[in-house]
Structure 1
């Protein structure tokens, strides 16, 4: 079974408070019925968890594991006042279970060493202000087809790097592409933007889910915490959550909640907070390192530490980038990531991008050059929402990548998802579109990712 660890302690479990009930007490629940949706999610403290959503007023169903009924408990009660007429249910998976079902919905089982890991992010249909996608047009918003393509790839684990809900405003008047769409931070929008289109993925593999900046305390946090957060639900929002780790065979994934890291300004209070979180990340990355013989680790962070948008003129000796993320860069400069962290997997920037770093410095004492490196940065924020256009396609020879040389840089502003597969001690990443056709492939080795288009 996949192993997970918290670093800053177990999440607090608070009593579930239901407000506004009649004086005579809550109305009796109806018998459990077919769940609206059900899935398996990888969460602390070390096992997979079955989750299900049922209509308000309905009892949680049983999880059927190898023919045995396991009661599901209420994760989050319905909250009609805030637009959530559904109850969220959960149950820890029994160890070694080989067949799982909730109602008629068969659920995937978890593997201790996933060999095929799908990665997707930033999937919702954007409707905000005057910017709107045509949510019913598969070419304009391909996430429903993308989810089916992910399922067809038969992954052992699916990583969503965050940002699920994008329908934040009413469809602009006269816009036929999104006319009649759900919008707002409520159940109807969560269903339209994520659960309904994600159905094929939910049935295929366990999910490892990251919080995105669309799920922050001023935005869609209620749905995130009710349905998808790794910790047990409490009716409160937190700006920062503790990092945690998940082991996949001989490799380790460490999840960082980077949702509140400001992209443009290195705000001192945020930098201080993320320095503490990076110390925690390093603790997870190096835990049991001797026993694991230097277990290679990937950091999962919705917001990338480094990304390259447009190239700007030099204020100093070199051209530089308009890119993300000022807070994370400042925090990492003060608290460098442990050498076990060889790569960072992110979303947030709505395209695919791969970036590696290396600087050679003369070392007079050693009589040779020393090599300074950062973890390679992979960005897969192209899962369905409106793409970012105009990012640099190549870099000047004297480009300054935050004090290092950039290597093997590639940007592709097209919709897609990634499939990571082990090749010896390394990885191969294949990028595919909503029809399942591969359009790029990367050889991903420690501190480097060499990518090339296939078409």
Structure 2
């Protein structure tokens, strides 16, 4: 090989590298980074590529309604947009400030209308850490009504303040108005006895969270036509899984919180794929960490339902899809399901090993340890199948840096603490739906679940939300729908022993 020819090859190689590097960087941005858990968790699916979308015609009449909100996802902060405006396919521009520069960014088209069930254009926009002041450009949308009305979309305030993690988190769950297929005598009066909207307003104004966790189960209108606040689009049998019912049961009453802070959304058992009763396709179109279209729906262990890690600075969340766990009976051990969920908890622990010195919260719609009822001699626990699955993992427990478990599903508030390496279980299924009767806490203390006695039990059958505050240690309080603190304030100790002190 001549020296001149070798030099040519070197130049060609350098040019190829210059071209390939950006391509690889773009690909890395579109595909989630693999973690140390890669051997336990299948690689995630590719992200949709950005595609240009049309802009509104000047002078076009305003029509339809748009909803914008912010989510934390495994890929970081993402602004979401769903609009019924016509013409369909238009994605607006969002202005935000980043590294001292204020620029506009057109959102990326994800999906268009799907019949009458989903009459929406859905768009997304990833936002870099440290960005501030995200505002929708009103001239880039035809929507007549825009939510939030001030066009401002909340971003991560802790990053702008130079703090390592959020210092205030609100957790809610099971918030919709309950209108049942069976026992209509137990239906809620959605016009007068459904407290989710005032809860949202007061939690946003008084607790001012920097992050909101929604523990799942969004729409409870199994018979929309039977609700006493039925409106067109959510007033006929068969519309329970339609966009209008999601707006009515979640987006509209949650508007104050959606305008206050980014959300993390868990999937509940009302969002399963079962035809006729599940809203799984709706979940994957609007609320999942990565959005799908064409009525796609997945069930664990399908790849899109694997546990994922979501970061809020140095605070990390593992989002675990337990929507399909123990569909027959939450209170009976199902040995056939144990290997499936053991694998899921091994994945959870592998994710927590990514940052072993930092705090993780596990979010699972179905509680891992929870008391439905208690007497002097016996306790009714939920969920023994998930509990057994944890005990059969490689660690025989949850990873030591998982500090809390946050769940919903059971319609009450309950805190269970073990004063051991096991994390406290917080159940927050109390934000709107018909409530269950809380157990007698005095009869729960000392009862043993999976070889550990309960040392703290605080239960409330009152509508409300959980507030977590970071003051060097995590402080936990339950608040009713007016925003008033109800019951003691508990402090979670740092260190290997997760001790709760409540006053």
Give the structure-1-normalised TM-score: 0.83
User: The residue matched to 1:374 in structure 2 has which SS?
Assistant: coil
Deviation at 1:408, TM superposition (A): 1.2
Match of 1:37 among 56, 67, 70: 67
Residue 285 (str. 1) matches residue 352 (str. 2): yes
User: SS state of the match for residue 442, structure 2?
Assistant: coil
Once the two structures are TM-superposed, the CA of residue 427 in structure 1 deviates from its matched residue by 0.7
Q: Is the aligned partner of 1:195 residue 2:195? A: no
Q: Which residue is 2:366 aligned to?
A: 303
Tell whether 2:279 aligns with 1:216: no
Hey, what does 2:28 align to over in structure 1? none
**Is 2:219 the partner of 1:165?**
yes
Pick from 141, 148, 163: which aligns with 2:194? 141
Give me the whole-angstrom Cα distance separating, in 2, the residues matched to 1:308 and 1:396: 8
**2:288 & 2:128 partners in 1: Cα distance?**
20
Is the counterpart of residue 339 in structure 1 residue 390 in structure 2? Answer: no
Question: Matched residue pairs, number?
Answer: 410
Whichever structure has more strand as a proportion of its residues is 1
CA contact (8 A) 2:170 2:468 kept: yes
1:242 maps to what in 2? 306
Once the two structures are overlaid, the 10-residue window that deviates more, 230-239 or 7-16, is 7-16
Q: Check conservation: 1:122, 1:348, Cα contact below 8 A.
A: yes
Q: Is the 8 A contact 2:107 2:123 kept in 1?
A: yes
Structure 1: give runs of 5+ residues left out of the alignment. Answer: 17-27, 314-318, 359-371
Do the aligned partners of residues 10 and 108 (structure 1) sit closer, same or farther apart at CA in structure 2, a change above 3 Å counting? farther
Are the equivalent residues in 2 in contact too, given 1:5–1:44 (CA < 8 A)?
Answer: no
Larger radius of gyration: 2
CA separation of 1:245 and 1:126: change in aligned 2, threshold 3 A:
same
Mapped partners of 1:74, 1:408: distance in 2: 48
Query: In structure 1, which of residues 354, 357, 363 is the aligned counterpart of residue 415 of structure 2?
Result: 354
Q: Which residue of 1 aligns with 2:12?
A: none
Cα deviations across residues 73-101 of structure 1 (Å, max 9, x unaligned)?
222221115x1111211111144321101
Q: Give the Cα–Cα distance (whole angstroms) in 1 for the partners of residues 460 and 353 of structure 2.
A: 33
The answer on 1:52 being equivalent to 2:54 is no
1:11–1:232 CA contact under 8 A, matched in 2: no
Equivalents in 1 of 2:190, 2:33: separation in Å? 36
> Structure 1: how far apart are the matches of 2:33 and 2:215?
17
Q: Deviations over 1:216-262 (max 9, x none)?
A: 11211122111110023244211121112233343322111111111
| Residue equivalent to 1:409 | 457
Q: Is the 8 A contact 1:128 1:170 kept in 2?
A: no
Q: Does 1:128 align with 2:180?
A: yes
1:244–1:284 contact (8 Å) kept in structure 2: yes
TM-score, structure 2 as length reference: 0.75
For residue 368 of structure 1, what is the aligned residue in structure 2? none
User: What is the deviation of 1:296?
Assistant: 2.7
Measured in 2, the distance between the counterparts of 1:109 and 1:201 equals 13
Partner of 1:21: none
Q: Is 1:205 aligned to residue 205 of structure 2?
A: no
The C-alpha deviation readout for 1:258-311, integer Å capped at 9, x for no partner, is 11111134334432121111111111111132xxxx223221111110111112
Is it true that 1:154 corresponds to 2:183 in the alignment? no
**Greater relative contact order: 1 or 2 (C-alpha under 8 angstroms, separation 6 or more)?**
1
Superposed CA offset, 1:397-432 (max 9, x none): 6633343211111111001111111122x2111221
> In the alignment, is the contact (CA less than 8 A) between 2:173 and 2:429 conserved in 1?
yes
Unaligned runs of 5+ in 2: 1-31, 139-150, 160-164
Provide the residue aligned with 2:125 in structure 1: 91
1:252-401 correspondence to structure 2 within 5 Å: 252-262=316-326, 263-289=330-356, 294-311=357-374, 319-335=377-393, 336-357=397-418, 373-395=421-443, 399-401=447-449
1:304 match: secondary structure: coil
User: Residues 14 and 69 from structure 1, CA distance in 2 versus in 1: closer, same or farther, beyond 3 angstroms?
Assistant: closer
**Paired residue for 1:23?**
none
State the alpha-carbon separation in 2 of the partners of residues 37 and 114 from structure 1. 24
Aligned-residue offset at 1:330 = 1.5
- The CA RMSD over aligned residues, in Å, is 2.7
Residue of structure 2 aligned with 1:114, choices 157, 161, 166: 166
Shift of 1:158: 0.9
- CA–CA distance in structure 2, aligned partners of residues 200 and 5 of structure 1: 35
What corresponds to 1:227 in structure 2? 286
